[in-house]
Chains A and B, each alone.
Chain A
Amino acid sequence: MTYLNNIGLYFLMIKEMFRKPTKWSVMKGLILKDIDDLVIGSLGIVAFISFFVGGVITIQTALNITNPLIPKYLVGFATRQSVILEFAPTFTSIIMAGKVGSFITSSIGTMRVTEQIDALEVMGINSLNYLVFPKAVAMMLYPFAIAIGMFLGILGGMAACVYGGYTTLEDYITGIQMDFDGFHMTYSFLKTFVFAFILATIPSFHGYYMKGGALEVGKASTTSFVWTSVVIILINYILTDMLLG
Chain B
Amino acid sequence: MIEVKGLHKSFGDAHILKGIDAYFEKGETSLVIGQSGSGKTVFIKCLLGLFPYDEGTISYDGKIYSELSEDQKRDLRAEIGMVFQGSALFDSMTIQENVMFPLRMFTKMSKSEMEDRVDVVLKRVNLDDAHHKMPSEASGGMQKRVAIARAIVNNPKYLFCDEPNSGLDPKTAIVIDNLIQEITDEYQIVTVINSHDMNSVMEIGEKIVFLQHGYKEWEGSKNTIFKTDNKAVTDFVYSSELFKKVRKMYLEEKQ
Contacts and interface: CB of A to CB of B under 8 A. Distances in A.
Given A114-B86, A123-B101, 14 more contacts: A19-B70, A114-B88, A115-B85, A115-B86, A118-B82, A122-B49, A122-B50, A123-B102, A123-B105, A123-B106, A124-B73, A124-B77, A124-B80, A124-B106
Contact of A115 (B80, B88, B160): B88
Contact of A26 (B70, B73, B82, B104): B104
A110 B80 CA distance: 24
B84 interface: yes
Interface string A98-125: 0000000000001000111011011111
B71 interface: yes
Contacts of A115: 84-86, 88
A64 interface: no
B52 to A, nearest CB: 12
A122 B48 contact: yes
14 contacts: A20-B71, A26-B105, A115-B85, A115-B88, A116-B89, A116-B90, A118-B50, A119-B82, A121-B49, A122-B49, A122-B50, A122-B80, A123-B101, A123-B102
A22 B90 contact: no
A119 B75 CA distance: 15
A126 interface: yes
B104 A121 contact: no
Interface in A1-53: 19-20, 22-23, 25-26
Contacts of A126: 74
Contacts of A124: 73-78, 80, 106
Interface of B: 48-50, 70-71, 73-78, 80, 82, 84-86, 88-91, 101-102, 104-106, 160
B47 to A, nearest CB: 10
Nearest to B82: A122
The 3 A-B residue pairs whose C-beta atoms are closest, nearest first, are A124-B77, A124-B74, A124-B78
Contacts of A121: 49-50, 77
Nearest to B160: A122
Nearest to B79: A124
Interface residues of A, number: 18
A118 B84 contact: yes
B193 to A, nearest CB: 15
B84 A119 contact: yes
A123 B77 contact: yes
Nearest to A121: B50
Contacts of A19: 70
Contacts of B77: 121-124
Contacts of B91: 110, 114, 116
Contacts of A122: 48-50, 77, 80, 82, 160
A148 B76 CA distance: 48
Interface in A115-141: 115-116, 118-119, 121-126
A5 to B, nearest CB: 15
Contacts of B85: 115
Most buried by B among A115, A121, A126: A115
A128 to B, nearest CB: 12
Nearest to A122: B82
A22 to B, nearest CB: 7
B173 to A, nearest CB: 20
A123 B86 contact: no
A116 B73 CA distance: 19
A119 B88 contact: yes
A25 B88 contact: no
Contacts of B49: 121-122
A126 to B, nearest CB: 7
Contacts of B88: 114-116, 118-119
Contact of B105 (A23, A110, A116): A23
Nearest to A125: B105
A23 B84 contact: no
Interface string A76-88: 0000000000000
A19 B69 CA distance: 13
